[in-house]
Structure 1
Amino acid sequence: MRLAPRRATAWRRPISSLQRHLTSIGIRKEDPARVWERRTPLTPDAVASLLRDNHAQLEVEVEMCGRRCFPDIDYRHAGAKLVPSLSKEVDLVLGIKEPPVHRIQALQEARPGKKRTYMIFSHTHKGQPYNVPLLSSFLDPHHSQTLIDYELLTRPKKGNPNELKRVAAFGWFAGAVGAGEALSMTGLALLRRGVSTPLLGLPRPYTFPSTAAYKAALRRCGDEIRSTVLTPCGTGPIVIGLTGAGNVSNGAKDMLDAMGVVWVTPEQLVDIHRGTKGMQTQIWACQVPPSAYYEKLDGGAYDRADYKAHPEGYRSVFVKKLAPYITTLINGAGWQEGCPRLMSNTDLAALLAQAPEVGHKLVAVQDIACDLEGGLEFMDRITTIDDPFCVGPGGILISSTDILPTELPADASAYFSSRILPYVQHLVAPKLTTGDVAETIERATIVRDGRLRKQHEWLMPSVDKWRSPSPPAPLGAATTSRRKKRVLLLGSGLVAGPAVEVFSARSDIALGIASNNLQEAQALTKRYGGNVETFSLDVADQVELGRAVSAADVVVSLLPAPMHVAVAQHCIAHGKHLVTASYISPEMKALDEEAKQKDVLLLGECGLDPGIDSMAAMRILSRVKRENKRVTSFVSWCGGLPEPAASNVPFGYKFSWSPKAVLTAAGNDARYKLGGKVEEVKGEDLLKRHYPKVDVWKGLALEGLANRDAMPYADKYGLGEVDGLTNLFRGTLRYQGFSRLLESFRQMGLLSPDPLTRMGDSWGDFLLASLARMSEVSGTSLRAGDVESVLRDLLAKEAEGTMEALRWLSMLPNTATPALPSHLTSPIDILAYILSQKLAYSPKERDSCLLHHAFEIVSSSTPSSTSFGSGETTSKQKVTASLLHYGTPGASSMSVTVGKTLAFAALRVVDGDVKGRGVRGPYEREVWEGVLGSLEEAGVEVLEDWS
């Protein structure tokens, strides 16, 4: 829309700091951890309008985001500039939900002193404890940040100038979606009682492109209901109870009207409950005012003015007078501390006890207000769009999702955008706006130029308390403040850099790096700076290790996997959490019960593989479960490889992580299921039984090896019984030729962990000693000239290619090589050493990490015995998840995907977002959802295809 020129208006007072023109607007992408947050503060049409009206002065940046309800290309067509992240020049940052603190700090540090304004739902103005760090990030006069909160954009009500109403809110959409979710949940709740109704077939709101389309579905469902006799469990007709009288309840009422419910008064509920004739072909609804469920403690009637002044003098009689006659409650009424609860835990217990034989009528509760343990005391958790309800007392289904409007994101965004556009326009060009826009912005400003506004100064003590110092508890010898969360990083090797980068970006994190290579650790601090200290630590020194662990909040171990158990034991002893990227070993798993008793989390498998692979799988499987489907096949491939241009070397491989770990993995036993048949492969046969061609990326000549035992993943991922799966396979990707050459090296004895007794002084002597042990000339000394003939006898047609690789690696007799390491005696250690020298990345080369999951899914109603191999017509859906990530000369892809995954998981633990305890993997939503979101923000994105 185009705004009319501003008429001459006298402001009541000058507001100079808001009169400056802002020349650059940035629309941030919502945090990836908020998977379902698809709304946007400004639509492409609104952006086009702003640019038309301010074409000479304004630039709009839009962070690229594949989840947003409006495609990126629409913003480009509107005239915006698409960017991976907002530039330091942005004057005004617009979003929906509050941004992470580190994103605000990053913009501040990119251009110190830059005046910048944020318009968001900050959730800070009520003193919310969980967002005190966010509020604090704005309170620095040196950075001159201004915070405007949408929730405080208010203007006087018509006819009552002393009362303010919000001008920009999503309440109607929360009510509309909440009602729709309540109806779908009612269908499921009644099914659990043994009754099927047309509500069971009503799709959830997020499956529709618009509000109009969803209303049409509600009308169709209502028509079907009116042609059906509903007899839910003998408890009478279906009755929906709706509380609240504002926008939320209006949105809910509009959706119920679309279905065609019959509205009754609270006084009629008893008659509806007792009636039978004609009652069972309708859904009844009752909008319940506070006067129907609140009364004075002395039994007097509800009085609105008196209640607002003295809420402590009232009690709720909802359970006594209304709840016994309601099938589903949609709560749209807010609650404040000191007010009586709509239903307390005691009230609910009384309701459940009223009809122990026939069962209570209430089967579902949709709490749109989402006041934890508030008006509905038993509502003690926030549900999600993925898992929309939990089972409460008496089997009642309870839903309390706090981002309901994003289920209809396009319509909700269009409405919201139209409401805030005049205020954005005022910040850009005050002369083009009229009326009381400036005063509205004034009321909504919490922080201006790094200082709290006068009406919000009462928040400062909470910020000061959060910032206040506490007694020192050194990691090495440093002191920190109370607000610093202490992370101990054990190790400073190949993947440490990206992990340190993540931790050091958080000003509330104090990171200590403990390493036996202090120079290497100090190089990390020089590169990343921040709140990082280093100290020397030999992890074999159990006293010093215990001391370091005791001073941390969370320990992150980059040590070799066998060392994790000793670290975990110290963590349990000192009550500290541990995060690693390694597979959970049987020895680690044995610590599960002890860790739980000490309230300690030992979180493993938070790297790439294992790690991102499991997290990506769990995200898909959560949707499979939500859509009432099941998996019949799961095949997964993962690998770290050089970019194609760097792969023209023996094995087609270069090392961005431990060479010995790569060589050892090629000898692991494997078990999997393909084509309905379970296969077991011994480690010595793994390379011979490789898959010579794996077509998962066009243009890449890949092969694969089975990766360990895939069978436990049926349980880990919740895939169901192995017998019900056609395929269950996990594999490792390599370039073609890797397995044949490494198998030749294995036959030569070069992968043996057993020490060589006589090895000589050169690489040629080492090769001859290993060949002598493996060949049939045992007891006879081999000479340099015997190598080729022995290889031909041992390797047959593979001998020539192997000789070429040995020559390239300078391992043949009489070739120049680095000095033979005298401290190593086993062939696998010595081979790992030479490969780390010869197959290292050059400064300009890049590595890559590849991940590919392939699922086949069917409806849960499809019998498990169905065969899909011979003309079966049952519909299968193929779903994939893919990651192809390239490193940079400064940070390998392997280090990024492992190090950052590990760090993001540790941050979720240290922030208290992971509630589980004991030995755990990344299989719970509280781990994988947030970590995948943070990785996406860091440029590591797993793409899904549900076509």
Structure 2
Amino acid sequence: MKNILLFGAGKSATVLIDYLLANAPRQKWHITVADSDLMLIKSKIGKSYYATPAAIDIRDQATRQQLVQQTDLVISLLPPALHITIAKDCLQFSKHLLTASYIDPDIRKLQKDIQKAGVLFMYEMGLDPGIDHMSSMKLIHSIEKKGGQIYSYKSYCGGLISPESNDNPWQYKISWNPRNIVLAGTSGAVYREKGKTKEVAYEQLFDQSKTVQVPGLGKLAYYPNRDSLSYVDVYHLGDIPTFMRATLRYPDFCEGWNALVKLGLTEDTQKHPTDQVTYFKWASQNIKVDKQLSNEENVAQFLGVSPKSKIIRQLKFLGILNGEMINLGEQTNASVLQHVLEERLKMGPTDKDMIVMLHEIEFERRNIATRLHSYMIVQGEDNLRTAMAKTVGLPLGIMAKLVLSGAVTLTGLHIPVLPEVYNPVLKELEEYDIRFEESFE
């Protein structure tokens, strides 16, 4: 019997838990799901003979380490800042670790120790990062094998609402960690275009009405992700002239979010009192309010839009132009905004989300320039078994199976860019209708 320990039973864990339980009898697994919310765990594992709930406080070192000691492989779906705690436990007790989060500087410092311990720490094993790496590397290796010279790589991914559930002025509903949504893009972006390095500050990130066409969906807006250039060497693309990774949204979302940034409502460093403070007072904290004008007119004037514009409609939809009291104690603007979004942009019981990923790769072979489009659209089933939960959870589950069955024997700190990882994972993902369509121009 092999033991798997999963930390975190939140939004992204549902389909992963389903997968682990479905495979448990045949693979001879037992799964322990650890989270602070016992009822949440029980709602995900049901009465399965192959699963045990563990309600723990992640700061309780003795209990946490006891769980790690007793397992063969750990999967962490905790918030990114907590991964290092789990990673150090896994290192101490020589356990494999899988997570969907980015490799960060803290884990980089442990790289030699991980290799020395002879265990596998597979990071970035979700959707984006994750499926984007695997599908990109498969394309890149295939082009290079045939003698193609790649000169432009652009990759886009977005967690969106499915067209039939797209019924609010933001054209968006929350299908993953709401805090990550609020803070997305705060560090700005760096990418390369036609040989020039471009740096975009956070304040300008959503200001660009850049769009791409996605078959069957039409025009989607995008904004560049973080530091795209940190992946150029990982993908072995050297001094490629154009390299960009970006996030996809419906165009209306980017316009509305740009307004929230201008109003200063995504700021996360300073705490403000919110008791007996109205949402409008909070939303207009950086505006010189004219008492002669309505709330809508004051905000519209500051943003340089009409009071009847779509952007004002979006802000009214969030309820932040009214006189209701916030009453959340001391909070940063980002925390208040997160509270608002969780309430106003939550998915209803029958809502469906959608994941869209698109790669555009331009290359030359035998003096012929070719553009390759490769895209994937995944639909969610409902507000629990979302497309987001599928695309984040299934790669982790499949990877756990490959490691515990001995099909993958890698050790050290990795992300999924090697053929022995991406080939079997992408192949099994197709069984769950997670597949790419390709076309050439």
Q: Which range, TM-score by smaller chain?
A: over 0.9
Matches of 1:689 and 1:627, distance apart in 2: 36
Corresponding residue to 2:284 among 768, 771, 777: 771
Task: Map 1:567-646; keep pairs closer than 5 Å.
Answer: 567-646=86-165
Extract unaligned runs of 5+ from structure 2.
none
Q: Is the counterpart of residue 834 in structure 1 residue 346 in structure 2? A: no
Q: Is the counterpart of residue 684 in structure 1 residue 196 in structure 2? A: no
Matches of 2:102 and 2:327, distance apart in 1: 30
Count of aligned pairs between the two proteins: 436
Corresponding residue to 2:215 among 694, 697, 712: 697
Q: Is the counterpart of residue 712 in structure 1 residue 205 in structure 2? A: no
Deviation at 1:821, TM superposition (A): 5.8
Corresponding residue to 1:822 among 313, 328, 344: 328
State the one-letter code of the partner of 2:45. T
Matches of 1:606 and 1:500, distance apart in 2: 16
- Contact persistence 1:669–1:682 (CA under 8 A): yes
- Contact persistence 1:672–1:678 (CA under 8 A): yes
Secondary structure in 2 aligned to 1:848?
Answer: strand
Corresponding residue to 2:40 among 510, 513, 520: 520
Q: Is the counterpart of residue 937 in structure 1 residue 431 in structure 2? A: yes
- Contact persistence 1:607–1:902 (CA under 8 A): yes
Task: Map 1:13-32; keep pairs closer than 5 Å.
Answer: none
Aligned position for 1:812? 321
Corresponding residue to 1:496 among 7, 10, 13: 13
Deviation at 1:682, TM superposition (A): 1.6
State the one-letter code of the partner of 1:685. Q
Task: Map 1:239-278; keep pairs closer than 5 Å.
Answer: none
Extract unaligned runs of 5+ from structure 1.
1-483, 863-873
Q: Is the counterpart of residue 732 in structure 1 residue 247 in structure 2? A: yes
Aligned position for 2:388? 894
| CA 618–822 in structure 1, closer or farther in 2 if over 3 Å, else same | same
Matches of 2:245 and 2:276, distance apart in 1: 41
Aligned position for 1:923? 417
Aligned position for 1:660? 179
Matches of 1:823 and 1:521, distance apart in 2: 29
Matches of 2:114 and 2:327, distance apart in 1: 41
Deviation at 1:623, TM superposition (A): 1.4
Aligned position for 1:879? 372
Aligned position for 2:310? 801
For the pair shown, which has the larger CA radius of gyration, 1 or 2?
1
Deviation at 1:808, TM superposition (A): 1.8
- Contact persistence 2:101–2:129 (CA under 8 A): yes
Q: Could you report, residue by residue, the CA deviation over 1:121-145 in whole angstroms, capped at 9, with x for unpaired residues?
A: xxxxxxxxxxxxxxxxxxxxxxxxx
The sequence identity of aligned pairs, in percent, is 27
State the one-letter code of the partner of 1:939. D
Matches of 2:397 and 2:276, distance apart in 1: 43
| CA 903–695 in structure 1, closer or farther in 2 if over 3 Å, else same | same
State the one-letter code of the partner of 1:490. F
Q: Could you report, residue by residue, the CA deviation over 1:375-427 in whole angstroms, capped at 9, with x for unpaired residues?
A: xxxxxxxxxxxxxxxxxxxxxxxxxxxxxxxxxxxxxxxxxxxxxxxxxxxxx
Provide the aligned C-alpha RMSD in A: 2.1
Task: Map 1:376-525; keep pairs closer than 5 Å.
Answer: 484-506=1-23, 507=25, 508-525=28-45
| CA 927–783 in structure 1, closer or farther in 2 if over 3 Å, else same | farther
Tell me which protein shows more strand as a share of its residues: 2
Matches of 1:657 and 1:797, distance apart in 2: 31
Aligned position for 1:742? 257
State the one-letter code of the partner of 2:379. Y
Matches of 2:230 and 2:105, distance apart in 1: 13
Q: Could you report, residue by residue, the CA deviation over 1:341-397 in whole angstroms, capped at 9, with x for unpaired residues?
A: xxxxxxxxxxxxxxxxxxxxxxxxxxxxxxxxxxxxxxxxxxxxxxxxxxxxxxxxx
State the one-letter code of the partner of 1:775. I
Deviation at 1:628, TM superposition (A): 2.6
State the one-letter code of the partner of 1:560. P
| CA 784–759 in structure 1, closer or farther in 2 if over 3 Å, else same | farther
Matches of 2:279 and 2:233, distance apart in 1: 46
Secondary structure in 2 aligned to 1:934?
Answer: helix
Q: Could you report, residue by residue, the CA deviation over 1:233-263 in whole angstroms, capped at 9, with x for unpaired residues?
A: xxxxxxxxxxxxxxxxxxxxxxxxxxxxxxx
Matches of 1:784 and 1:569, distance apart in 2: 59
Matches of 1:485 and 1:882, distance apart in 2: 36
Deviation at 1:789, TM superposition (A): 4.2
State the one-letter code of the partner of 1:587. D
Identify the structure with bigger relative contact order (alpha carbons < 8 Å, sequence gap 6+).
2
Matches of 1:610 and 1:737, distance apart in 2: 25
Secondary structure in 2 aligned to 1:806?
Answer: helix
Deviation at 1:807, TM superposition (A): 2.1
Matches of 1:937 and 1:770, distance apart in 2: 47
- Contact persistence 1:601–1:916 (CA under 8 A): yes
| CA 824–557 in structure 1, closer or farther in 2 if over 3 Å, else same | farther
- Contact persistence 1:601–1:919 (CA under 8 A): yes
State the one-letter code of the partner of 2:339. Y
| CA 837–600 in structure 1, closer or farther in 2 if over 3 Å, else same | same
Q: Could you report, residue by residue, the CA deviation over 1:535-580 in whole angstroms, capped at 9, with x for unpaired residues?
A: 1111111221111111111100010011111110010000001100
Matches of 2:357 and 2:76, distance apart in 1: 24
Matches of 2:315 and 2:232, distance apart in 1: 42
State the one-letter code of the partner of 1:767. F
Q: Could you report, residue by residue, the CA deviation over 1:659-713 in whole angstroms, capped at 9, with x for unpaired residues?
A: 221121132321112233221112222112351x221334433111111111122
| CA 757–576 in structure 1, closer or farther in 2 if over 3 Å, else same | same
- Contact persistence 2:165–2:352 (CA under 8 A): yes
Deviation at 1:785, TM superposition (A): 6.3
State the one-letter code of the partner of 2:398. F
Q: Could you report, residue by residue, the CA deviation over 1:148-178 in whole angstroms, capped at 9, with x for unpaired residues?
A: xxxxxxxxxxxxxxxxxxxxxxxxxxxxxxx
Q: Could you report, residue by residue, the CA deviation over 1:473-502 in whole angstroms, capped at 9, with x for unpaired residues?
A: xxxxxxxxxxx1111000100011110111
- The TM-score normalised by the length of structure 1 is 0.44
- Contact persistence 1:858–1:876 (CA under 8 A): yes
Matches of 2:297 and 2:321, distance apart in 1: 13
State the one-letter code of the partner of 1:747. K
Corresponding residue to 2:59 among 530, 540, 553: 540
